[in-house]
Amino acid sequence: MRDYSIREFIEKTKQNEAARDYFELETERILEVNLAGDVWAKAGSMISYNGKIKFEREGILEHGVGKMFKKAFSGEGTALMKASGRGVLYLADQGKKVTVLDLNGESITVNGNDLLAFEPSVRWDIHLMRKMAGVVSGGLFNVTLEGQGRVAITSHYEPLTLLVEPGKPVVTDPNATVAWSGHLKPEFRTDISYRTFLGRGSGESIQMEFSGEGFVIVQPYEEKSGSDRSG
């Protein structure tokens, strides 16, 4: 007979005490941070912690006037919090799947809505995408991260990585695009017939085209901008 006891439930779902890496996937949707210093995380992503950890929203001068100027135009999705101290921190974002990437001198650009956390050793900067206002989830921005350290990104369901090769550009729906090689610079193009064909009403559909050599990560889900969400 199957055991439905509370003890059995605890055994199946309790945290892994043996995990000691800075970033650990406690489950595929929960990131464990074994904190001994600082970590940058998406504001509001903390679901639990133990130990002595202090949280603070990103300070106005934390990264210089330039970045804060850009933040003023990039929506709430870029809001970061800094967790400082010693302990174990658990992060999650609306039940999305978490993927941990270890940067070793590489760079990656992430949709601001899909960035969960990164080590303080990772350099970052916000880039505006003015053409994408009202189209890209969370606003018109992305975040480029580079250097050494771990980065955690999120996606709805299983992500798919598409390889970009010379002469073979990859075109994606901005609302389904999670991240791409940091050196790639997407071009934006419109397709009226595409939008009309799918019954999305009149107007232009904006697509992202990646050319060169690298990769693009997409998800099987279209995240809508804040103004398009209900509930």
Domains assigned to the chain? 20-225 (3.60.160.10)
Please give the Cα distance from 194 to 104 (Å, whole number): 39
Q: Does residue 81 contact residue 57 with C-beta atoms inside 8 Å?
A: yes
Please give the Cα distance from 199 to 132 (Å, whole number): 20
pLDDT greater than 60 at residue 145? yes
Identify the weakest region by mean pLDDT among 108-122, 130-144, 164-178.
130-144
Fill in the DSSP letter of residue 200: -
In the block, which residue shows the tokens 């949707």?
29
Which range of 13-17, 66-70, 220-224, 225-229 scores highest in mean pLDDT? It is: 220-224
Task: Indicate the average pLDDT of the chain.
Answer: 81
Please give the Cα distance from 143 to 128 (Å, whole number): 9
Please give the Cα distance from 89 to 212 (Å, whole number): 39
Which two three-digit tokens encode residue 12?
Answer: 């199946």
Could you report the per-residue pLDDT of 117-144, keeping only the tens digit for each?
999 999 998 877 765 555 554 446 788 9
Fill in the DSSP letter of residue 22: S
Q: What angle do CA 116, 139, 80 make, to 5 degrees?
A: 35
Could you report the per-residue pLDDT of 98-108, keeping only the tens digit for each?
999 999 999 99
- Give the model's pLDDT for residue 7: 82
Answering whether pTM is above 0.75, one says: yes
